[in-house]
Amino acid sequence: MKPTIVKRDLVVDTALDQCAAKLTPEQIEKVVNEVIDNETGGRLQTYVNTCIHCGLCAEACQWYLSHDKDVSYAPVTKVKDTIWVLLEKKGKVDGAFIKRCSEIAHTECNVCRRCGMYCPFGIDIAYMMLVVRRICAKLEMVPLYLQDTVHSHAATMNQMWVKPDEWIDTLQWQEEEGQGYVPSARLPLEKEGAEIMYSVIGPEPKFLAQLLGNITVIMKVAGLDWTMPATAGWDNSNMAMYSGDFEIMARVERLHHETAQRLKVKKIVMGECGHAFRGAEYDGPTWMGWMKPPIPIVHAISFYYDLIKSGRIKIAKKAEGPITVQDPCNVVRNAGLGTQLRYIMNAVCEEFVDVTPNGRHNYCCNAGGGVINVGPPWKKKRVQGNRVKAEQMKRTGAHTIVTPCHNCHSGIEDIVDYYKLGMHVKFFSDILIEAMEIPEHLKPKEE
Amino acid sequence: MYEFVSGPLVWIAFIVFIGGSLYRIYNMLSSSKKEKVVFPHMSLKHSVASLIHWTIPFNNQYMRQRPIFTIISFAFHICLIIAPIFLLAHVILWDESWNMSWLTIPDAVTDGMTIMVIIGCIFFLYRRLTDPVVQNVTDSSDYLLLAITALPFITGFIAYHQLFAYKAILIIHILAGEIMLIAIPFTRLSHMLFFVFTRAYFGSEQGHVKNSKDW
Amino acid sequence: MLKIESWDWESKEKMLADTAKWKDKFEDVWEPYISPDGEKIASIVKVGEGEFNIAVNEGTWEEPFEKIWYSRFSPDSRLTALITKDMEWTMAVDGKPWEQMYEYIWDTKFSDDGKVIAATTKLDSVYGITVNEKTLECPVNLESIASYAISSDGKTLAAIAQTLPLGQADLDGFLKGTWSVVVNGKPWKDNFVDIYGLAISNDGKNVAAEYRAAICEYGIVVNGKPWNEKFGCTWEPVFHPNNSNEITTPVRQAGQWFLATNGRIVWDKGFVSLLYQTYSPDGNNIAATVAPQFAKWTVAVNGQPWAATFNECLLQPCFSPDGRKVAVIAKDSGKWLLVVDGTVLGEGYDNIWQPVFSPGGDKVICKVEKNGKYAVAVNGKICGNTYEALWNPVVSPDGTRVMICGVEDGKYYRKVVPLSDI
């Protein structure tokens, strides 16, 4: 088979560059075969042997479509250029090859699983890319910023190097912010036996603390019995799942679920994040040997759906003008929340404009799957790799895009910025907090 | 020669085809157990749902996006399986040897189906040569598989119409059929065997585990 | 040790506080806590704009504070809480704040007798462990403290701490090691990539932890010295109750979990998962939560799994005092169950708290939740009243009585019931 013609702008990623130079062929061969022999099975072999090289997966990929159908971005090409060779050569490849594997798997694929839906055989290409990532991770061939994030998970059990005191302090500060809207609002810490443990991702206390204030108000208005942990285990995000460091992934997920068990809650409600749901609901539990999370986990979309549908939260004033939405792959395509998302969008927006394609067929934001976490060196490529998203969003004519996922939020913001779409990007809770009715008795007393 | 290819070789071909297929499926199932999640994630309901959904034409986004591909590939696969099984001449052979017979399809229809298979092969060959994505992942094995698939139908067509050298063509036809049978379990033609399983797994994972759908 | 004998085991029933009245008296009332002896119930209450106090039984602390949180009773029934005054934090014990104020203070812990009160503190951007108002002196400035452990006697305090600063995205620096264990203010000689699962032996002499040797390589380190054996993954080590030289750890090898003692695999059978290894009181038996197959959980005692399995999860197993029986809380198909020696006792509940055995081992007592109400269950069956709030029942040292503390119609009761009656 002829090698793929690959044209890329040079990207300097010191971690990949330095590590590629250090790798020995023996090391590579050992790790490749270890992973293939011990960590994969009939599934991978069947996928590789069943692929009839039809190329139908190409149309599924936003990277391929956005690059004017550049073959080197087609999902099947990504498989060809990585796992086929690793299997065929039984790991006898060099550092440069592994570096290219990492570039493909970590920076050019969002493991969004859209291509799986385009394959007549249901071959899960994203799974194969995760196998490649696993090999890369064991060889320390992970892009700099992603690896740094994983180190943060490993050291602090959160994504952003947030120290234990900073976490609690931020919650106490945001409780006060929430009390600006609803004076009796409370952010209950360490309340054993509460109905709900609320968990968030590391960037919330670090950069988006107002979301914690938002939830304090929403919980009060809905009259719910909830708590947040004052210990590690509060962060539900998991970049180790995406780097391929599954031991750290499992440690983070285990702590998250055990924190909920320790607090004796009935369920975990999580903020607006897609990959975190995937890690907490699926990848983490699977590694731990749980069929499903030991304490059920509810994504913000379902949570708000229940609150609005049951009337626990009433909408006083719908958001004006055309507003559209981004379907986060990990909660829509891969968790079936598309219908609920549309229900809550219609409930809080005067004019909700849907996207095409939508629901589980929607394109990935291109930031997911750890791709935004590979950091600034790769940003241009990531944004250029999702022109179709910009075109899709532009077609809606909306002034605001709601993204119920942190990765989508940052990714779409970058796209809006780069393609000069002039649209706002908001979380659902940002819209909800403005639209919902705050009952008279909860409102601040007029001075 | 004719006696050999239509006698012992048929036996060998069928034994290898059936035995090989069973072996490949067994091997796949047992090595899938190594990954502890595969079987616990399976669900009969979602497997069947996925299989039914994906065997109906134009039931998916990509099928609707590519109408020509969809029509040809469905017709190709249906004809490829139906024509040889229900061809009168084949059923007669079964009847003569084993006293077994079943429904047959009129020759004119199977003839048309054969042409359809050949058209399909030409279409796939054309894609392999012209579609950049397909081209990029095509190697000699892909052409070989196409040839193995096309040959029994081309020779069958020639033999049926007795266009030339009937006896020789007939022998080649039988041989080609046998090669194809033998190749199925041991080449990527095994997608015929694994289709059910890969679909069932993805359908289960999307439906049963992830509460979504795989189409 | 705590003198449970000296508690009031005679009074059959005491109504100690009417917490319903708190709701009329104060702007907001937080969830209550009780003292270990059951004599006191306390809630943080809001008394005005930016003013909080703690209601204890019929009274309150003398002085309100700007903020109060983490109210916890020490084992000797003193009430501690973390408070702010003039935007600075400290610990208050029975209403009296420590003199030293901190930038931040959190994670209160106690020695078994309650004489030692410890917390993590931050002062002038340096982190430390503070014990009874005195921060343990450390030769290096600690950049962060992830967590810490305290020995039963309160004499050994070990913290997982970052001893070196780390620049942004400094992968090499991180892999050289920035984390160590600081024992009573003294950091271990070497740094490690990561440290997890800190444990102190019962005699307080040895400190063990998991350490990360490389990206996917883990081992156990004891008193700063790493063992030679390395594994694909480990979980937290546990000391033998009477032998501080024996440490048992779950270890992962070739995709399976095994139980290892002092680095050597002691259970020949591997599992999909292995957690919460627990020694019997005499240290002769070990039970652990295991999954022999994916999503099939059970307990293995000395390597032998029970026949019954549960499809969701299992919590930590616990031994009867004689070490012959093992009880565990299991979750199966959405219900929590009490399981003893592989047999489900009683019915399923919405929640079950960690069980205790009666001294004879014949009764397993625990707090359960059903339909939003709490009750005491014996061998899985609810006995007596249901409560709005309930605490874990405590068995008297002679094993004849059980103390049950709970709130009914807003009134807080402390009851002592003969074990034979329930």
Residues in chain C with CB shorter than 8 Å from the CB of B37 are 294
Concatenated DSSP letters of B7-67: THHHHHHHHHHHHHHHHHHHHHHHHHTTSTTTTTT--HHHHHHHHHHHTSTT-SHHHHH-H
pLDDT band at B61 (very low <50, low <70, confident <90, very high): confident
Q: Is the pLDDT of residue A128 over 80?
A: yes
Q: Where are the beta strands (DSSP E) in C98-222?
A: 104-110, 117-123, 126-131, 134-135, 144-150, 157-162, 179-183, 186-187, 194-200, 207-214, 217-222
List the chains bordering chain A where 3 or more Cβ pairs fall under 8 Å.
Answer: B, C
- A114 and A172 in one domain? no
CA dist., res. B86 & res. A126, Å (int): 40
CA dist., res. B189 & res. B149, Å (int): 9
**Count, residues in chain B:** 215
**% residues pLDDT > 70 (chain C):** 100
Domain assignment present for residue A48? The answer is yes
Interface residues on B facing C, Cβ-Cβ cutoff 8 A? 36-37, 40
Decide if C295 and A165 are in contact by the 8 Å CB cutoff.
no
- A342 and A312 in one domain? yes
- Give helix A338-348 / helix A300-309 axis angle, nearest 10°: 50
Q: Residue A226's closest chain C neighbor by CA?
A: C31
Candidate from A54, A282, A334 with C-beta closest to B134: A54
**% residues pLDDT > 70 (chain A):** 100
CA dist., res. B70 & res. A424, Å (int): 40
- A422 and A354 in one domain? yes
- A232 and A190 in one domain? yes
- A109 and A66 in one domain? yes
Give the tens place of pLDDT for each residue, B119-177: 999 999 999 999 999 999 999 999 999 999 999 999 999 999 998 899 999 999 999 99
- Give helix A144-156 / helix A246-262 axis angle, nearest 10°: 40
Given CB atoms, is A60 within the 8 Å cutoff of chain B?
Answer: yes
**Count, residues in chain A:** 447
Radius of gyration of chain A, Cα coordinates, nearest whole angstrom: 22
Domain CATH for A74:
1.10.1060
Domain assignment present for residue A3? The answer is no
Q: What's the total number of domains in chain A? A: 3
Distance from CA of C216 to the nearest CA of B (A): 19
Contacts of A116 (CB under 8 A, 6+ apart): A122, A123, A124, A125, A126, B202, B206, B214
Contacts of B203 (CB under 8 A, 6+ apart): A122, B46, B47, B49, B50, B51, B53, B214
Give the tens place of pLDDT for each residue, B63-84: 888 999 999 999 999 999 999 9
- A131 and A244 in one domain? no
φ and ψ of A4, to 5 deg: -70, 140
Which residues on adjacent β-strands are paired with residue C48?
C51
Give the ranges where A81-238 is alpha helix by DSSP (H).
Answer: 85-88, 95-102, 125-138, 144-156, 164-181, 203-207, 210-222
Using alpha carbons only, what angle is made at residue A341 by residues A340 and A344, rounded to the nearest 5 degrees?
A: 85
Which residues of A, range 123-152, sit inside 8 Å of C by Cβ?
137-138, 140, 144-145, 147-148, 151
Residues in chain C with CB shorter than 8 Å from the CB of B36 are 272, 293-294
Give the tens place of pLDDT for each residue, C287-315: 999 999 999 999 999 999 999 999 999 99
CA dist., res. A404 & res. C108, Å (int): 36
Domain assignment present for residue A440? The answer is no
Given CB atoms, is C284 within the 8 Å cutoff of chain A?
Answer: no
Contact call for residues B63 and B57 (beta carbons, < 8 A): yes
Domain assignment present for residue A149? The answer is no
Q: Is the pLDDT of residue A447 over 60?
A: no
- A176 and A267 in one domain? yes
CA dist., res. A171 & res. A164, Å (int): 11
Give the tens place of pLDDT for each residue, C10-36: 999 999 999 999 999 999 999 999 999
Which residues of B, range 26-45, sit inside 8 Å of A by Cβ?
27-38, 40
Tell me the HSE value of C361 on the side-chain side, using a 13 A CA sphere.
14
User: What residue ranges of chain C have pLDDT lower than 70?
Assistant: 1-2
Which residues on adjacent β-strands are paired with residue C129?
C120
Selected for mutation to probe chain B from C273, C293, C294 (highest B CB count within 10 Å) is: C294
What pLDDT is attached to residue B164?
86
Contacts of C401 (CB under 8 A, 6+ apart): C9, C395, C416, C417, C418, C419
- A74 and A111 in one domain? yes
**% residues pLDDT > 90 (chain A):** 98
φ and ψ of A144, to 5 deg: -45, -55
In the block, tokens 């503390």 appear at: C405
- A282 and A162 in one domain? yes
Selected for mutation to probe chain C from B36, B38, B42 (highest C CB count within 10 Å) is: B36
Candidate from B34, B60, B137 with C-beta closest to A41: B34
What pLDDT is attached to residue B98?
86
- A168 and A135 in one domain? no
Cis link prior to A357 (omega < 30° from 0)?
yes
Q: Residue B145's closest chain A neighbor by CA?
A: A52
Contact call for residues C107 and C91 (beta carbons, < 8 A): no
- A164 and A97 in one domain? no
Q: Where are the beta strands (DSSP E) in A244-291?
A: 267-270
Question: How far is Cα of residue C377 from the mean position of the Cα atoms in its chain?
Answer: 22
Residues in chain C with CB shorter than 8 Å from the CB of A267 are none
φ and ψ of A323, to 5 deg: -130, 135
φ and ψ of B67, to 5 deg: -60, -40
Average pLDDT over residues A165-181: 96
Q: SS3 of C135, please? A: strand
Distance from CA of C182 to the nearest CA of A (A): 16
Given CB atoms, is C272 within the 8 Å cutoff of chain B?
Answer: yes
Domain that holds residue A183: 156-287
State which of A110, A142, A174 marks the end of a domain.
A142
State which of A107, A142, A177 marks the end of a domain.
A142
Domain assignment present for residue A163? The answer is yes
Give the tens place of pLDDT for each residue, A344-381: 999 999 999 999 999 999 999 999 999 999 999 999 99
Domain assignment present for residue A148? The answer is no
Domain assignment present for residue A7? The answer is no
Distance from CA of A153 to the nearest CA of B (A): 25
CA dist., res. B38 & res. C293, Å (int): 12
Decide if B199 and A121 are in contact by the 8 Å CB cutoff.
yes
Exposure b/e, A38-58, CB count within 10 A at least 16 = b: ebbbbbbbbbbbbbbbbbbbb
- A228 and A123 in one domain? no
- Give helix A14-22 / helix A95-102 axis angle, nearest 10°: 150
Query: Is the complex ipTM more than 0.95?
Result: yes
Contact call for residues C295 and A241 (beta carbons, < 8 A): no
Which residues on adjacent β-strands are paired with residue C42?
C33, C56
Which residues of A, range 186-205, sit inside 8 Å of C by Cβ?
186, 188-193
Concatenated DSSP letters of A352-366: E---SS-GGGSPP-S
Which residues on adjacent β-strands are paired with residue A235?
A200
Domain CATH for A349:
3.40.50
Domain assignment present for residue A58? The answer is yes
State which of A79, A108, A142 marks the end of a domain.
A142
Given CB atoms, is C217 within the 8 Å cutoff of chain A?
Answer: no
